[in-house]
Amino acid sequence: MHFLAPLAFLFAASIPVVIVFYLLKRKRVVKLVSSTLLWRKYLAETQASAPFQKLRKNWLLILQIILLALVVFALARPYFATKAKPAQLRVVILDASASMQATDETPSRFEKARAEALKWVDGLAGNDQMVVLQAGANTEVKQSATTEKAALRRAFQACVCSDGPTRLVPALKMAESLVRDLDPRTNPEIHLFSDGAVPELNEFENKALPLVFHRVGKDANNVGITALDARSNPEDARQRAIYASIANFSTNSQQTEVELLFDDRLLETRSITIAATETSPQVFLAAQPRDGVFTVRLTAKDDLAVDNQASIVSLLPKPVKALLVSRGNRLLERALRAVPNVELAVATDLTDPATGFDFVVLDGVTPTVWPGGNVLAIHVVNTNWVQGVTQVESPPIVDWKSAHPLLRYAGFDNVQVMQSLSAKTPTWATSLVEAPQAPLMFAGELGRQRIIWIGFDTLESNWPLRVSYPIFVANAVEWLNPANARSGQLLVKAGDPFRLALTEPAASAQVTLPGGAAKSLTLDPSASELVFGDTLKQGTYKVRLGTNDTVFCVNLLDAAESNIKPHEAVELGKYTKVTATTKHRANMELWRTIAAIGLLVLLFEWWYYHRRTV
């Protein structure tokens, strides 16, 4: 046993003071009585001449000495050293992501992790310091390096679990920067309290992080909504099709009711059964009389509630004005006209920015003036977009990103290209179709302009003869449509900022949160957009800007986060992992236990004193 404050034993000098009080005689008060006949046996006490008396056996004295000894012992802060090594600095990362709300631990994984982390605060010894980081959708420094345990406890109590996904990379980068330059002999450590539901952390594979992983969580009983989308019904333009992907991450088959609501009004309920570890796609068809919010809700009783509901803002479709600049590509023109709600104009050149159109398609024509809006550029390139353009002969297509909205249901099997322009993917874009030399197609957003670039002439390939060609054109129209782009901005992942372009200067705005609370925002008169970052909770938000109201929805929609199965290790790349530790907290203090015993002794003394005097 060791002591953090051995000087507290000096307070043991107060024990003889208590004994002296029991040696002193009580001072008698003189009273006149008519007779002393009944008081003779007490005369000896009243005639004593010495100020002290013989110390007698007294249980009250013994209890008080025991109580005082316990107080001194507690002030000395005894502790037992355990397996953990002393560390000059401990950086504690508390996972505050959505999966930590799972209730397989009592009352939740987050509360269990916080309780375990607080035990390590009690174990700080000497000049050891601790840093508290909260890692959720964003990383927050709750407490900088300090030895003050009260401040560390307050920091942990201030941590709040969010509805967002786990983003551990920023937290580990910050922790790594704090321990990087410390002397290894001081044993700096990074302690992660999490369920391990994090993506692989490849960039830390060769950094030798002194990471200690404390795993929380027991089960994987969860059914959640992992994807949600609303589109026009391709068979009936008067209806909306709501696509939902519902996954069962449990080891047993699960049955649940799926409810569809529009502006909180129940439209449809269906019962589904999902096999273990399987996903069930669901499609609802509903009439939509006005712009509003569709909500999909599950009634399953599982360990994670935050992914049992998801909402999406659905705007009524409006006519899309498109301009095709081409020298006679009839197949492309026909594919564009086949898309519902497209009002197509055709030209052979472009001499102005085409501000009256929602998007422009450039088919092998270099315009005199490049359009200022969204663009689909086919076999033509703007040198302000890319650099180092070259010509490639007969490039084979080796890969394509089928998960991207532009390539949904549009594969490139057996598509052959005679020749193509080739350029390195710019930083603002994502490569969609790959050849061994370079990408043949990429898309992204440059400023506020959405751009799709296709390096090859579609008429010099067999792609227009494939079913994926009209599907791609329909996807491109939807992706380039500014109205749909605005709809995408109204669906926000928890923890990500919401951005709203300002059409005119504004001084203030008000945001109503899902719980009904309102927040006022002060805007810079010169600002071009409103940015709201407090999106940590799932639900529907309303922004009032002047006389205009804008509704946006915040959801989890993350399959990795909904898979709440606790991980045995955190992967730091392909060949490195940190296994969950069984390490105990160091220097476990006993003063709380001693104080509790002292309280029991005090209560017993009080009971004994009153029992004796009755």
For residue range 302-342, what is the model confidence (pLDDT) as tens digits? Answer: 999 999 999 999 988 888 999 999 999 999 999 999 998 89
Considering only residues 199 and 538, tell me which one the structure prediction assigns the higher pLDDT.
Answer: 538
Task: Produce one character per residue of 365-389: b if its CB has 16 or more CB atoms within 10 Å, e if not.
Answer: bebeebbebbbbbbbbbeeebbeee
- Give the span between the Cα atoms of 380 and 383, in whole angstroms: 10
pLDDT of residue 29: 65
DSSP notation for 140-174:
EEEEEEE--HHHHHHHHHH----SSPP-HHHHHHH
CA distance 589 to 425: 58
Is the pLDDT confidence value at 36 over 80? no
pLDDT at 45: 54
Q: How much is the pLDDT for 357?
A: 95
pLDDT band at 158 (very low <50, low <70, confident <90, very high): very high
pLDDT of 86 > 70? The answer is no
In the numeric block, the tokens 């003889």 are attached to 16
Region at 178 (left for phi over 0; alpha for psi -120 to 50; beta for the rest): alpha
Q: Identify the pLDDT of residue 468.
A: 94
pLDDT digits (tens, 9 = 90+) for 422-435: 888 999 999 999 99
Task: Clarify whether residues 344 and 480 are in a common domain.
Answer: yes
CB proximity list for 553: less than 8 A, separation 6 or greater: 293, 310, 311, 312, 313, 490, 491, 492, 539, 540, 541
At 477 the pLDDT is 94
Highest mean pLDDT among 230-234, 375-379, 589-593: 375-379
Examine the domain organization and report whether 127 and 171 are in the same domain: yes
In a domain, 74, yes or no: yes
The pLDDT assigned to 586 comes to 47
For residues 332 and 385, membership in a common domain is answered with yes
Residue 106 CA to chain centroid, in angstroms?
Answer: 20
Residue 561 lies in a domain: no
Considering the chain, what percentage of its residues have pLDDT values greater than 70?
89
Assess if residue 155 is contained within a domain. yes
Tokens 């986060």: give the residue.
Answer: 561
**Whole-number average pLDDT of the chain:** 87
Share of the chain above pLDDT 90, in %: 59
- Say if CB 536 and CB 517 are below 8 A apart: no
**Which domain covers residue 332, as residue numbers?**
320-486
| 475 & 581 share domain | no
Picking from 433, 462, 486, the residue at the C-terminal end of a domain is 486
Indicate the DSSP class of residue 417. Answer: B
Higher pLDDT, 589 or 494: 494
The H or E element spanning position 294 is strand 292-298
Q: Is residue 190 part of a domain?
A: yes
Is there a single domain that holds both residue 31 and residue 177?
no
* Angle value at C-alpha 300, between 296 and 302, nearest 5 degrees: 120
CA distance 416 to 457: 11
Q: Does the pLDDT of residue 443 top 80, yes or no?
A: yes
Query: Does residue 495 sit in the same domain as residue 482?
Result: no
For residue 568 the two structure tokens come to 């045995």
Residue 261 lies in a domain: no
Instruction: Assess whether pLDDT exceeds 60 at residue 153.
Output: yes
Residue 110 has pLDDT above 80, yes or no: yes
Task: Tally Cβ neighbours within 10 Å of residue 12.
Answer: 15
- Residues 166, 56 share a domain: no
Torsion of CA 474, 476, 482, 488, to 10 degrees: 90
Contacts of 546 (CB under 8 A, 6+ apart): 506
For position 55, what pLDDT does the model report? 60
Residue 87 banded pLDDT, cuts 50, 70, 90: low
Q: How far is CA 212 from CA 64, 472, 589, in A?
A: 45, 48, 21
Give the mean model confidence (pLDDT) for residues 64-78: 77
How crowded is the C-beta side of 348, counted as CA atoms within 13 Å?
Answer: 2
Query: In Å, what is the CA distance from 582 to each residue of 80, 113, 212, 216, 576?
Result: 17, 14, 10, 11, 19
For Cα atoms 280, 281, 282, give the angle at the middle one, nearest 5 degrees: 115
For range 451-473, the mean pLDDT:
95
- Average pLDDT in the 7-21 region? 76
Amino acid letter for position 422: S
* Statement: residue 513 has pLDDT above 70: yes
Q: What is the pLDDT of residue 595?
A: 77
Tell me: do 333 and 445 sit in the same domain. yes
Strands laid side by side in the 223-233 sheet: 223-233, 236-248, 279-287
CA–CA distance, 23 with 20 (Å, rounded to integer): 5
Residue 514 shares a structural domain with residue 460:
no
The answer to whether residue 300 scores a pLDDT higher than 70 is yes
364-379 mean pLDDT: 94
For residues 365 and 469, state if they share a domain: yes
| 426 secondary structure, DSSP code | P
| Beta-ladder partners of 146 | 130
Q: Please tell me the least confidently modeled range out of 38-52, 447-461, 479-493.
A: 38-52
The domain that holds 145 is classified in CATH as 3.40.50.410
Q: Indicate which CATH number applies to the domain containing 520.
A: 2.60.40.1930
Using the 3D structure, point to which of 466, 486, 506 is the last residue of a domain: 486
pLDDT, average across residues 193-205: 84
Question: Could you tell me whether strands 320-325 and 342-347 are parallel, antiparallel, or unpaired per DSSP bridges?
Answer: parallel
Between 388-402, 472-486, 574-588, the lowest mean confidence (pLDDT) is in 574-588
Total domains in the chain come to 4
Q: Is residue 151 over pLDDT 60?
A: yes
pLDDT at 132: 97
What is the CATH number for 446? 3.40.50.880
- 205 located within any domain: yes
How high is the pLDDT of residue 82? 55
CA 361 from chain centre, in angstroms, equals 39
- Is residue 194, in this structure, part of any structural domain at all? yes
- Is 187's pLDDT higher than 60? yes
Ranges 116-120, 244-248, 580-584, most confident: 244-248
Task: Report residue 49's pLDDT band, with 50, 70 and 90 as the boundaries.
Answer: very low
Whether 369 is in a domain gets the answer: yes
Mark whether 432 and 524 lie in a shared domain: no
Residue 472 and residue 359 in one domain: yes
